[in-house]
Structure 1
Amino acid sequence: MHRPTRSPRAARQNTISTIPEELLERILALCIESPEQVSSPRVPGAVYRTAPLLVCRRFLRIATPLFYHTLALRSPRQAQRLYYTLASNPLLATFTRKLVIQSSDVHDVSEHIVRLCRDVEELDLLLVDGGAGDVSDGDAARVLRFSRALGTLGRIRSVTLRKPASTYLTHERTRLLLEGLADAVKDWRNLELLTFAFRLSSTPSTDLLIGALAKSPRLHTVRAVMPTVLNSCFVTLSTNPTLRNIELITDETPSGVIFGTGNGLFLKEARKHERLWACVRRGTYRLCARGRTRTPRPPPLGSRSSPRKAWARSRRRRAP
């Protein structure tokens, strides 16, 4: 009896080179850890993010855009080394779609990185300030150059602003940065989502930023921490005709929607502004859910009947 033999071509089908690149790209995306998640120091023997790049040339070609998709700037030394890498190979900067700036000490270097990464669509910026003292002319010039560089990111679609509890919006460096962001918003024609991951209050610098956002042509969603009382920032934001959603979030993370009785004064005042209240109702899920959930009113006591009587009435209606 003749036994069929497996051809060499069939034996080579179960190799990594036969996996479609689209599937391989998704697998490698799970292997490459996001730089935002890297917070603890490396332990001996830990696997580094660059490990998939060293497997083979095919992995290097597919994983390199994934590796540079999100860039996090944490310290001046790390930002300087990243700048040297991008400046020596500008093609790598074209892969960047998200930029995370976690330190105010990197504004001098991050200005050059921002100008290299022209295709950034998402910006996550931490407002860190050294204190309430005056800012030197050199620091003010660096913040101004950094803000102007942000204005060159014409493809920005999403912006997240954060600040620690020790930073106040009235501090000098924070004020300069907010004023620079107000100028940059005027050039962000594709901005659709903005998140204030802190309690927003009305100051001269924030009023400039909110005024620019109120004229943003494509801004449809603003996420902000629910304040204790209503301030003019929310009312001004609601005047943007393209704005549809104002999502009230928690202090800890931009993804936790809150609805608490401790903020009843804000909700009471917001109801007086029709446009603002409509945006809050659409954007805040729990408010929307509470507004749409209604308990059906029970029928009058005399109209209640047993299933048997209802069945008899239906039979009489069908009778000729």
Structure 2
Amino acid sequence: MKSFSDIPDEILHDILAHIFWVDEDVFACPTPASSRATDDDSDTREIQYDSNVPRAAVPLVCKRWLNVSTPLLYETIFLRTRPQVHCLARTLLNDYTLGQNIRKLRVGCGLGVPMNKILRFSPNITHLVIELVAEKEEHIIGLGAGLQAINPSKVVLIQRSMPWYNRRTLPLVTELCHYIPKWTRLTTLRYPYDRSPRQSSRDLITALGNIPHLRTLYVPCGYSIDRTLLVSLLGSLGDSITEIYSEAPLVDNEDSRMFLTLADFAKLRQKVLFPVPGPWAVRPYRACTREDDRLGLIWTA
């Protein structure tokens, strides 16, 4: 019988991949709770999502495990604090090849020059999650070179800062609006705003209309979003968008704004999908039906 050391690297890679795997719903969760890290911000190996398995210990088993697991360790990165951003930036400066392993990157802290360096050393990013929060304006400017170096297929924008901090994120939103239409691989995007139209939301709507291959759009609350914004979103992208997911379920007698919009854009009625309430391993979605339209705003006959 062969010993464990005789297992090919390809099989060992598949075995260790389960330790480093992060569920997509956890990675892109719109709540801050999904951005987790250990208390030790000095170790880049602890930047990723916490689990019961000590990931940092896997590369320490032996040199072979180190070689096999290092790319897996950097595939999905969570950055919660500025010290973690600085730490990862220094690591990539010392060995830029590590950045080529990063596929999913979630940033939940103030941005700045170190984040710019991380993006420039991570050209293979496919999933990018940015929480729009800033403590100081100087932490979120100057990302142009970094955003230009990547071409993700999925972008999730999360607005979790207090209203009085929104103006501080405007420079970041402006830069995102400039580069998002240039990402030719971008097919999925989460629109971060719900109500209260602001300059940043209007700029982002304009950018969405210029994305060449956008197919899937996520919105926080499909039925309560400001009607003017929703009309702009659905109207400009109605022909190319195939699915529009609401993160909030359909609420009886409180969805008039959504139905009024769908009445104006009949072709989108089957594209706007709402989550089905209940405990699900994989949550199903459904379009609104005649039975949902209790106010008779769409199906009047």
Query: Which bin holds the TM-score, normalised by the shorter protein?
Result: 0.7 to 0.9
1:29 aligns with 2:26: no
AA at the equivalent of 2:198:
T
Residue aligning to 1:248:
246
Contact between 2:250 and 2:274, CA under 8 Å: does it hold in 1?
A: no
Alpha-carbon deviation of 1:82?
Answer: 1.2
Q: How do 1:19-168 residues align onto structure 2 when only pairs under 5 Å count?
A: 19-32=7-20, 34=22, 38-39=36-37, 41=39, 48-104=54-110, 106-130=111-135, 139=138, 143-154=140-151, 156-164=152-160, 166-168=161-163
Q: Within 2, Cα distance between the matches of 1:77 and 1:230?
A: 37
Q: Within 1, Cα distance between the matches of 2:38 and 2:224?
A: 35
Alpha-carbon deviation of 1:143?
Answer: 3.0
Deviation string 1:11-54 (CA, Å, 9 cap, x unpaired) is 4x2x1133243332222122237596644647xxx964221101
Q: Within 2, Cα distance between the matches of 1:54 and 1:219?
A: 42
Contact between 1:202 and 1:231, CA under 8 Å: does it hold in 2?
A: no
Q: Within 2, Cα distance between the matches of 1:148 and 1:266?
A: 40
Q: What TM-score do you get using the length of structure 1 for normalisation?
A: 0.71
Q: 1:230 to 1:19 in 2, by over 3 A?
A: same
Q: Within 2, Cα distance between the matches of 1:229 and 1:70?
A: 31
AA at the equivalent of 1:26:
D
Q: 1:110 to 1:188 in 2, by over 3 A?
A: same
Q: 1:93 to 1:249 in 2, by over 3 A?
A: same
Q: Within 2, Cα distance between the matches of 1:78 and 1:262?
A: 46
Alpha-carbon deviation of 1:158?
Answer: 0.5
Q: Within 2, Cα distance between the matches of 1:183 and 1:270?
A: 28
Residue aligning to 1:231:
227
- Secondary structure at the residue paired with 1:261? coil
Residue aligning to 1:299:
none
Alpha-carbon deviation of 1:101?
Answer: 0.7
Q: 1:54 to 1:229 in 2, by over 3 A?
A: closer
Q: Within 2, Cα distance between the matches of 1:243 and 1:118?
A: 26
RMSD: 3.0
Deviation string 1:85-144 (CA, Å, 9 cap, x unpaired) is 11111110100011111111x4231111111111111111011133xxxx76xx2xx534
Residue aligning to 1:288:
287
Q: Within 1, Cα distance between the matches of 2:194 and 2:286?
A: 19
Residue aligning to 2:4:
16
Q: 1:80 to 1:39 in 2, by over 3 A?
A: closer
Q: Over alpha carbons, which structure has the higher Rg?
A: 1
Q: 1:229 to 1:85 in 2, by over 3 A?
A: closer
Q: Within 1, Cα distance between the matches of 2:256 and 2:93?
A: 52
Q: Which runs of 5+ in 2 are unaligned?
A: 28-33, 41-51, 277-283, 293-301
AA at the equivalent of 2:134:
D
1:190 aligns with 2:185: yes
Alpha-carbon deviation of 1:58?
Answer: 2.1
Q: How many residues align?
A: 260
Q: Within 2, Cα distance between the matches of 1:173 and 1:37?
A: 21
* Deviant stretches of 4+, over 6 Å: none
Contact between 2:194 and 2:226, CA under 8 Å: does it hold in 1?
A: no
**Share of identical aligned residues, percent?**
23
1:265 aligns with 2:261: no
Q: Within 1, Cα distance between the matches of 2:104 and 2:216?
A: 19
Q: 1:57 to 1:289 in 2, by over 3 A?
A: farther
Deviation string 1:232-252 (CA, Å, 9 cap, x unpaired) is 3322232223211110003xx
AA at the equivalent of 1:125:
I
Alpha-carbon deviation of 1:186?
Answer: 1.9
Q: 1:286 to 1:89 in 2, by over 3 A?
A: closer
Q: 1:107 to 1:144 in 2, by over 3 A?
A: closer
Residue aligning to 1:255:
none
Alpha-carbon deviation of 1:269?
Answer: 1.2
